[in-house]
């Protein structure tokens, strides 16, 4: 008996052996604190970079600053840490969806550095996705170090992401909801408690280090019925803008892929374009929180046309920054575009319906943010709770619910998956727990092989074959070359039925005469979903599996169903 | 049961030698071969509790137009029906995922360094990480193609060396080749201690049937005794065997072996789930 229990395997400690909830709560708290620290570090680094470069922004050559930052960011990712560019969150969702939340250790810091270079130099991107990636990687690697299982690891990945969002926005509920709605895609009690604890831990770290400040100051808004009605129109506007940003970003990605330039040069081209755009519309530079503050406080002075131009310019700047290789996320740009949409929509309402007592434009900026987040992420709850928490007021909760839900629904008609998940869905890589695709992806042909088939040589007579059938429970008999052991064909029980009651044929018919040589076969390493597709298209219930031209067993739908049920029980276990 | 070997093909003369080793291994163990011809300089391997990013030496991407033909010509010429792995899963657009459900993987001593650095005594960090994490043994090939006509297992009594013996017996069963054991007696250990460990592992019966010679050395240094390893033997050994540093270092014996022996090495890591 093993007396010593390793400190590296806390799941085997007596206190945690019966139930791992306490272990997950403690681990979640640690992960939440570390994610909070990562978020704080990035926040401070960004402030430092922006302050440091502020004095240079007045020069005519300042447009190359975002180019330099994006190029450095791209070089850092591709040459120093050997990572591909990207937003980070799709990678986290992919890891959760396919590999039990396994994320590389280097991801815990790589995106922090690269996004700091991109955003700090003026690129139009947000720091939230890199911090989520970092927090998730911290959670994943802590789980790996302590040999947690897949389910526990996924929970800690969620804890890291929740701690990061909670810390950066000082919004614990938004962090929790974002993770459950976007990252994990499932709401189970086993996950909710540790993730909630991590959110609180992340928020507390932020409050201890930066003070208990809400991101945008609280204003009291008195919502009337006509404002709630007007929300429907704003939902259409935000959904429209969400679709434009999603498509333009993808278009920029494709254009960048087709351009024959080094990746750092592509990032520099994108950054340069953003720098030039920033000359004419300064609001597009950086994360853009300053503009949001002005809009919420109602001190944004420019008119409706400028607001509309700024809105489209921010969409373009974000697409240029991220699509051409800069590093960062779309969360902050989404808030900026959403608030510009809300503001422009309010001015439109005031212009055309001047006699209606509309609520202040700051309120519409808030609603626009919620609508845009709900649309582009197709995560209405995240939009609602984020806006409520970052503004510290519940007065706008009713229109928030309406606009987020409507915007998410309208977007769904144009983009069937959210921005984060679109690529994953197109590649068939989004496998939520308990879904058919996920269960099948976790099963392999080797697990389903039925190996009790009796192989026969082609020279076997029907008499010998009939004798063999009486000893076998199977209806399928693979025919093998006696020397090379190569698979030659298959004899089905149905194939010999015509001869079975004619004993005259027993010595006249041989296996090679009745075997089916054109039988559909599966290869040992083939994807189960591909094999099933062949079985469905040909109406088969069983198929022989070959490896290196040799028969290794049969695969049948009956065995598949049996294993499918077992796997489904494992994946949906809530204990 | 059918076994599968993963080979990452490098379209260079060194890569040809490595592929020939894989072909020989597959032919003699009747394994099927899966060849991956990389299109990017990096890929990911998701193991049970770890993810390893392999950053390939750029020579793996050389002459892509002839890679497949070269690999096919060699495999067909030696009667192997190899399948080519095309990545379907990508963690990022330039970062494919390679499956890990293989029974063996063939690799030169380093896959991330320039081939000029590959030499005795040098095993690259990525190869070490794969050995440490993988559930399959890794075949580290000699620089030039070399057939092996016997199997030699290094047995020092550790858990991993017992796994190595189990693997050695499995390969001996598959190939029909004779199996030898190599033991350097350490400290106060006696032969009975070593035999007891094999007995406890349930290998006694198979051992008596299959082992041709048990080379036991009590005198001279370990390095000196390695001269007695047959020239044409496949050396099977365990890595990351003992002590507190087992997660960091291969183990001193393993380091000596890989620095001195130019034989093909079949290395069993701590996560290898033994067959046979």
Q: Are residues A419 and A444 in the same domain?
A: no
Q: Is the pLDDT score of B1 beyond 60?
A: no
CA atoms of A277 and A250, how far apart (whole Å): 20
Answer yes or no: is A339 within a domain.
yes
- Judge whether A11 is closer than 8 Å to chain B, CB to CB: no
Number of domains in chain A: 3
Q: Which position has the token pair 């993988």?
A: B134
Torsion of CA A311, A316, A318, A324, to 10 degrees: 180
Mean pLDDT on A134-142: 95
Same domain, A87 and A173: yes
Residue A210 has a pLDDT of 80
> Rounded to an integer, what distance in angstroms lies between the CA atom of residue A360 and that of residue A343?
10
- Please tell me whether residue A542 adopts helix, strand or coil conformation: strand
Would you call A229 exposed, middle or buried from its count of C-beta atoms within 10 A (0-12, 13-18, 19+)? exposed
How far does CA A514 lie from the centroid of its chain?
52
| Residue A100: pLDDT band with limits 50, 70, 90 | confident
Q: Are residues A453 and A316 in the same domain?
A: no
B42-46 and B51-55 as β-strands: parallel, antiparallel, unpaired? antiparallel
- Average predicted confidence (pLDDT) for chain A: 86
Tokens of A202: 């992340």
- Length of chain B in residues, anyone? 276
Calculate mean pLDDT across residues A87-107: 89
What pLDDT score was predicted for residue A1?
A: 42
Residue A342, pLDDT score: 93
A224 touches A180 (CB < 8 A): no
Bridge pairing between strands B4-8 and B32-36: parallel
One domain, residues A258 and A406: yes
Clarify whether residues A315 and A288 are in a common domain: yes
Last residue of a domain, one of A210, A241, A264: A210
Mean pLDDT of A191-208: 93
A83 touches chain B (CB under 8 A): yes
A232 and A141 in a common domain: no
Q: Which domain holds residue A473?
A: 439-571
Query: Which of chain B's residues have a Cβ under 8 Å away from the Cβ of A438?
Result: none
Report pLDDT for A51.
Answer: 87
Confidence at B20, pLDDT banded by 50, 70, 90: very high
The reply to whether A148 and A253 lie within a common domain is no
User: What percentage of residues in chain B have a pLDDT greater than 90?
Assistant: 34
Q: Read off the pLDDT of residues B77-119 as tens digits, 9 standing for 90 and up.
A: 998 888 899 998 888 888 899 988 888 999 888 877 766 666 7
A529 and A561 inside one domain: yes
**For B171-206, how does the pLDDT look when each residue is reduced to its tens digit (9 = 90+)?**
999 899 999 999 988 877 888 888 888 888 888 888
Tokens describing residue A449: 């092989």
- pLDDT tens, residue by residue, B201-256: 888 888 888 888 898 888 888 888 889 899 889 999 988 755 555 555 567 777 88
DSSP secondary-structure letter at A179?
I
Which CATH topology does B4-140 take? Rossmann fold (3.40.50)
Q: What percent of chain A is modeled with pLDDT above 90?
A: 36
Question: For residue A295, what is the domain's CATH number?
Answer: 1.10.3080.10
pLDDT (tens digit, 9 = 90+) per residue, A414-436? 988 888 888 888 877 778 777 77
pLDDT tens digits along A241-295:
999 999 999 999 999 989 888 889 999 999 999 999 988 888 888 888 888 888 8
List pLDDT tens digits, range A51-89. 888 888 888 888 889 999 999 999 998 888 888 656 788
Q: Are A115 and A83 in contact (CB under 8 A)?
A: no
Would you tell me how many other CB atoms lie within 10 Å of the CB of residue B270?
17
Q: Confirm whether A300 is domain-assigned.
A: yes
* DSSP letter for each residue of B25-94: HHHHHT-EEEEE--SSSEEEEE-SS-EEEEE--GGGGS-HHHHHHHHHHHHHHTT---EEE----EEETT
**Domain presence at residue A373:** yes
In-domain check, residue A142: yes
Q: Assess whether A412 and A444 both reside in one domain.
A: no
Separation CA B79–CA B2 (nearest Å):
16
Whether A20 and A160 share a structural domain = yes
Yes or no: say if A328 and A129 are a contact pair by the CB < 8 Å rule: yes
Q: Is the pLDDT of residue A514 over 80?
A: yes
d(CA B223, CA B42): 36
Give CA–CA dist B80/A548, Å, rounded: 8
Kindly tell me if the per-residue pLDDT of A149 is higher than 60. Answer: yes
CB of A98 less than 8 A from some CB of B: yes
Q: Do B4 and A524 touch (CB under 8 A)?
A: yes
* A384 Cα distance to chain centroid: 20
**d(C-alpha A358, C-alpha A415), whole Å:** 32
pLDDT mean across residues, chain B = 86
Q: What is the pLDDT of residue B243?
A: 52
> Would residue A415 count as lying in a domain?
yes
In a domain, A3, yes or no: no
Asked if residue A109 is part of any domain, the answer here is yes
Quick check: A17 pLDDT over 80?
no
B140-150 in b/e burial notation, b at 16+ Cβ within 10 A?
Answer: bbbbeebebeb
Strand partners, A553: A545
Based on the fold, state whether residues A104 and A32 are members of the same structural domain.
yes
Both A373 and A454 in a single domain? Answer: no
- Best to test chain A binding among B35, B92, B111, B132 (most A CBs inside 10 Å): B92
- The residue assigned the tokens 């029974």 is B103
Q: How far, in Å, are A119, A246, A433, B171 from residue A377 at the CA level?
A: 21, 10, 19, 53
Residue B144's pLDDT is what? 86
Is B32 an 8 Å CB contact of chain A? yes
Topology of the domain covering B150-268: Rossmann fold (3.40.50)
The runs of H, that is alpha helices, within A297-330 are: 304-323
**Residue B8 forms beta bridges with which residues?**
B36
Instruction: Provide the residue ranges of all domains of chain B, joining segments of one domain with +.
Output: 4-140, 150-268
Q: Is residue A202 part of a domain?
A: yes
Chain A residues with CB inside 8 Å of B53's CB? Answer: 82, 104, 106
Query: A549 in contact with B at a CB cutoff of 8 Å?
Result: yes
pLDDT for residue B241: 55
- Whether A144 sits inside 8 A of B50 (CB atoms) is yes
């Amino acid at each position: 008996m093993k007396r010593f229990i390793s400190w590296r395997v806390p799941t085997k400690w007596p206190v945690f052996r019966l139930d791992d909830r306490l272990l997950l709560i403690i681990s979640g708290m640690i992960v939440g604190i570390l994610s909070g620290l990562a978020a704080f570090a990035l926040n401070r680094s960004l402030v430092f970079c922006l302050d440091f470069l502020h004095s240079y922004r007045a020069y005519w050559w300042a447009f190359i600053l975002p180019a330099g930052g994006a190029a450095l960011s791209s070089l850092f990712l591709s040459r120093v840490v050997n990572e591909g560019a990207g937003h980070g969150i799709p990678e986290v969702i992919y890891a959760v969806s396919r590999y039990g939340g396994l994320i590389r250790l280097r991801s815990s810091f790589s995106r922090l550095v690269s996004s700091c270079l991109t955003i700090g130099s003026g690129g139009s991107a947000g720091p939230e996705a890199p911090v989520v990636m970092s927090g998730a990687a911290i959670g994943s690697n802590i789980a790996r170090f302590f040999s947690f299982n897949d389910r526990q690891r996924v929970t800690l990945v969620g804890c890291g992401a929740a701690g990061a969002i909670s810390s950066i926005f000082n919004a614990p509920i938004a962090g929790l909801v974002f993770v459950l709605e976007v990252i994990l895609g499932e709401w189970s009690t086993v996950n909710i408690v540790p993730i909630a604890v991590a959110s609180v831990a992340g928020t507390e770290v932020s409050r201890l280090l930066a003070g208990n400040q809400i991101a945008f100051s609280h204003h009291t808004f008195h919502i009337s019925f006509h404002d709630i009605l007007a929300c429907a129109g704003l939902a259409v506007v935000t959904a429209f803008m969400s679709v434009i940003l999603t498509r333009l970003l993808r278009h920029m990605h494709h254009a960048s892929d087709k351009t024959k330039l080094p990746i750092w040069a592509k990032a520099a081209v994108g950054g340069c374009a953003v720098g030039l755009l920033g000359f004419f519309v300064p609001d597009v530079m950086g994360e853009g929180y300053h503009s949001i503050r002005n809009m919420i406080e109602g001190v944004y002075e420019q008119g409706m046309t400028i607001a509309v131009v700024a809105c489209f310019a921010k969409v373009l700047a974000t697409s240029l920054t991220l699509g051409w290789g800069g590093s960062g996320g779309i969360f902050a740009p989404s808030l900026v575009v959403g608030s510009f949409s809300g503001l422009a929509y309010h001015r439109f309402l005031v212009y055309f319906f001047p006699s209606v007592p509309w609520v202040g434009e700051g309120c519409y900026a808030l609603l626009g943010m919620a609508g845009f987040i709900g649309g582009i992420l197709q995560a209405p709850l995240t939009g609602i709770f984020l806006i409520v928490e970052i503004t510290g007021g519940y007065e706008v909760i009713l229109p928030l619910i309406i606009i987020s839900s409507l915007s998410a629904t309208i977007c769904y008609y144009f983009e069937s998956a959210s921005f984060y998940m679109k690529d994953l869905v197109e590649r068939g890589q989004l496998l939520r727990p308990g879904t058919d695709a996920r269960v099948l992806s976790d099963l392999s042909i080797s697990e389903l092989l039925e190996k009790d088939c009796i192989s026969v040589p082609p020279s076997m007579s029907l008499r010998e074959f009939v004798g063999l059938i009486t000893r076998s429970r199977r209806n399928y008999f693979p025919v093998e070359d006696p020397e090379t052991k190569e698979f030659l064909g298959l004899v089905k029980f149905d194939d010999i039925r015509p001869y079975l009651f004619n004993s005259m044929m027993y010595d006249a018919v041989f296996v090679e005469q009745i075997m089916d040589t054109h039988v559909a076969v599966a290869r040992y390493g083939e994807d189960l979903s591909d094999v099933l597709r062949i079985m469905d298209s040909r109406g088969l219930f069983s198929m022989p599996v070959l490896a290196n031209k040799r028969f290794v067993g049969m695969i049948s739908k009956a065995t598949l169903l049996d294993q499918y049920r077992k796997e489904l029980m494992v994946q949906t276990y809530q204990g | 049961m059918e076994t599968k070997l993963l080979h990452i093909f490098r379209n260079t003369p060194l890569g040809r030698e490595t592929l020939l080793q894989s072909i020989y291994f597959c032919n003699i163990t009747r394994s099927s071969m899966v060849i991956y011809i990389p299109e990017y300089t990096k890929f990911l391997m998701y193991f049970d509790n770890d993810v390893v990013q392999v950053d390939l030496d750029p020579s793996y991407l050389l002459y892509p137009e002839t890679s497949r033909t070269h690999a096919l010509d060699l495999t067909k010429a030696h009667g192997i029906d190899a399948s080519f792995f095309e990545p379907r899963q990508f963690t990022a657009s330039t970062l494919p995922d390679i499956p890990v459900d293989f029974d063996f993987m063939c690799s030169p001593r380093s896959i991330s360094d320039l081939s000029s650095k590959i030499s005795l005594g040098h095993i690259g960090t990525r190869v070490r990480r794969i050995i440490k994490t993988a559930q399959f043994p890794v075949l580290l090939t000699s620089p030039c193609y070399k057939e092996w006509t016997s199997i030699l297992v290094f047995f020092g009594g550790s858990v991993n060396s017992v796994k190595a013996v189990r693997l050695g017996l499995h390969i001996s069963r598959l190939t029909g080749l004779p199996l030898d054991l190599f033991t350097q007696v350490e400290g106060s250990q006696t032969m009975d201690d070593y035999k007891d460990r094999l007995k406890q592992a349930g290998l006694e019966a198979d051992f008596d049937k299959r082992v041709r010679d048990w080379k036991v050395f009590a005198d001279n240094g370990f390095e000196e005794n390695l001269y007695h390893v047959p020239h044409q033997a496949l050396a099977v050994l365990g890595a990351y065997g003992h002590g507190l540093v087992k997660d960091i270092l291969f183990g001193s014996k393993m380091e000596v072996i890989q620095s001195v022996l130019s034989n093909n090495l079949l290395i069993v890591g701590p996560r290898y789930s033994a067959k046979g």
